Amino acid sequence: MIKACIFDLDGVIVDTAKYHFIAWRRLANHLGFDFTEEENEKLKGVSRMDSLNLILQWGGIEKSEAEKAQLAELKNGWYREYILKMDPSEILEGVAPFLGHLEQLGIRLALGSSSKNARTILEQVGLMHRFEAIVDGTNITRSKPDPQVFELGAEAMNLNPGECLVFEDAEAGIDAALAGGFLAVGVGAEENLGHAHLVIPNFIGLSLQAILDGIQARAEKHG
Ligand code: B16
Ligand code: MG
């Protein structure tokens, strides 16, 4: 019996992944190299420091911890220039009606994001008040694929993982939800998220019942 839905933020509710990409790429260019959109996929759901470590690895660059802290700060400043211009028009299509639909059914809502900027983004797009529990990069000590972010969300609502449905766009996020014993719905492409209980392209026209039916049908098909 599903009592709550836990939403990832970047890539599920808003497309901030494009701003992360621009800002990280600017940092890489600043350091004298570049990386592709394909490589950027590996940064989704991954914490700021883990992302920086991956990017430096791609560029074959070594930096001290103090220099890394400065580089992460530089990137975050560029990223924040974009998110501080966001408004409700950047909520992905279908998300607002789906949240309303869940609220009407009495389903509780939580946010589970790796981002330390999650509250700023929710404030900018006017969704802060819709979530009963908000767990973000400032609350966690272990980044996705560790399940901690979703476990803390379930705990804040006094629910068990089995009572919560997680929505995620990142491979690492689906891994995290599965490791925690949650039902996991991938939002995006089957090739990255095929290990989820169900993959949906977006939230347009979606109902909770359709999702639950989809999960069941997929489980029967895959035995
Ligand atoms: P910040 P999510 C994640 O958010 C992003 O997908 C990932 O690309 C980013 O590095 C991470 O947040 C940390 O973000 O630098 O703002 O703390 O998808 O878990 O909502
Ligand atoms: Mg995400």
* CATH number of the domain to which 178 belongs: 3.40.50.1000
Q: Relative to the CA of 75, which ligand 1 atom is closest?
A: 15
Same domain, 102 and 161: yes
Same domain, 48 and 104: no
Same domain, 213 and 161: yes
Out of 7, 8, 9, 10, mutate this one to test ligand 1's pocket (max ligand atoms within 8 Å of CB): namely 10
The residue from 31, 54, 83 where one domain ends is 83
Same domain, 48 and 8: no
CA 168 to chain centre: 5
Give residue 102's domain range: 4-15+89-221
Same domain, 136 and 73: no
Q: If you measure from the C-alpha of residue 150 to the centroid of ligand 1, how many angstroms do you get, rounded to a whole number? A: 14
Residues of the chain where predicted confidence (pLDDT) is lower than 50: none
Domains identified in the chain, total number: 2
pLDDT at 57: 97
Q: Give every CB contact of residue 52 below 8 A, 6+ residues apart in sequence.
A: 68, 71, 72, 75
Annotation marks residue 8 as catalytic: yes
| Ligand 1 proximity of 20 Cβ (cutoff 6 Å) | yes
Give the separation between CA 68 and CA 74, rounded to whole angstroms.
Answer: 10
Same domain, 106 and 193: yes
Q: Relative to the CA of 8, which ligand 1 atom is closest?
A: 20
Give the separation between CA 14 and CA 8, rounded to whole angstroms.
Answer: 10
Q: Which of 5, 211, 222 is nearest to 104 (CA)?
A: 5
Signed CA dihedral, 155, 159, 160, 162: sign only: negative
| 8 A C-beta contact, residue 116 and residue 137 | yes
Same domain, 68 and 136: no
pLDDT at 222: 81
pLDDT at 210: 98
CA separation (Å) from 113 to 144, 152, 212?
A: 9, 11, 23
Same domain, 107 and 153: yes
Out of 37, 115, 123, mutate this one to test ligand 1's pocket (max ligand atoms within 8 Å of CB): namely 115
pLDDT at 45: 87
